[in-house]
Amino acid sequence: MTSDTAIRAAIPAELSATVRSVTLREGVATIVADASGLGRSAAAQLQRELSEAASLVEGVSEVRVALMADKAPRRIIAVGSGKGGVGKSTLTANLAVALAKMGMKVGVVDADIYGPSQATLLNGKGSKLRAEGQTLIPHDSDFGVKFVSMGQLVEPGKAIAWRGPMVGSALGQLMEADWGETELLLVDMPPGTGDVQLTMMQKFKPAGAVVISTPQDLALIDATRAIDLFQQAKIPIVGIVENMAGYLCPHCGEASEPFGHGGAESAAKDIDVPFLGRVPLAMEIRTASDGGQPPAAGTSEVGAPFTQIAARLKDWLEHAG
């Protein structure tokens, strides 16, 4: 048995498929392995286990492991709004869950630094982010969606009083977490058009943006500003979602429209961007979200609008190239 063959024989069977080449020269073993699709922590473990296996072979005095990996084809979709309180975080969480049910590998970045809520929405309340070195490890939710949130790094109820540079640094750490095989990141943006939005667009360049608004004029004015900011940065607009579009009384069954109806669809036509759909104002959405059970994860009727909007987003991703 040659020395190279002896090294290959010493590598555990579950790792041998990753090995592309093995050489031994003057006591130095060099192993080239394929780490495509592995996150940083898994790749480091592969490197460590290959090194340990080869070091046990007679004649090996030093082991060098080189990892090769294809860059993950990960895309970013920003979910934004011009103002707060329009349901942006709930939409983000439910789109992620619906897309995961469709077979996509999805992650959520809670970029609303001052008002993080994804840990609650994705049933990770009380969870804490861990890190390996300087790299955060996303939390695995119960719904097949990974997520990171400032809510997992600070004590509950504690205010985050940070200036712009600190916020930008925090966003960078969240975005550059160990996402592994995740192919799509949905970024729950804070309301408005400030530092986080500018950092996101300039440094991470989303593939597209989904903008959410309620039907009334004031919300639409702010949503239009958000769209204009994305367009100035040449971020394609996937479309507009109208939230809180009609209310069905759970007691009498009568429908009403406390925030109006159709305003977002009309605005989409006026500014020539797609309209992705409506989400009703429903008590079940609120209670399920507060309880960490996104409606899109179940089979109830209130989850259907999220699934339909997610399907349109998936279609956009498939045709956007």
The residue behind tokens 């009384």 is: 249
* Residue 177 · residue 157 · CB < 8 Å: no
Q: Is 168 annotated as a binding residue?
A: no
253 is in an annotated binding site: no
* 263 appears as a binding residue in the annotation: no
Whole-number Å distance between alpha carbons of 237 and 208: 6
208 carries a ligand binding annotation: no
Start-to-end C-alpha separation, the chain: 50
Is 298 known to sit in a ligand binding site? no
Angle between helices 263-271 and 217-232 (to 10 degrees): 30
- 180 within 8 A of 42, measured Cβ to Cβ: yes
105 has binding-site annotation: no
Is 82 annotated as contributing to ligand binding? yes
Answer yes or no: is 88 a known binding residue: yes
DSSP string across 14-54 = HHHTTEEEEEEETTEEEEEEE-TT--HHHHHHHHHHHHHHH
User: How big is the chain, counted in residues?
Assistant: 321
Task: Please give the annotated binding residues for ATP, written as ranges.
Answer: 82-89
Task: Please give the annotated binding residues, written as ranges.
Answer: 82-89
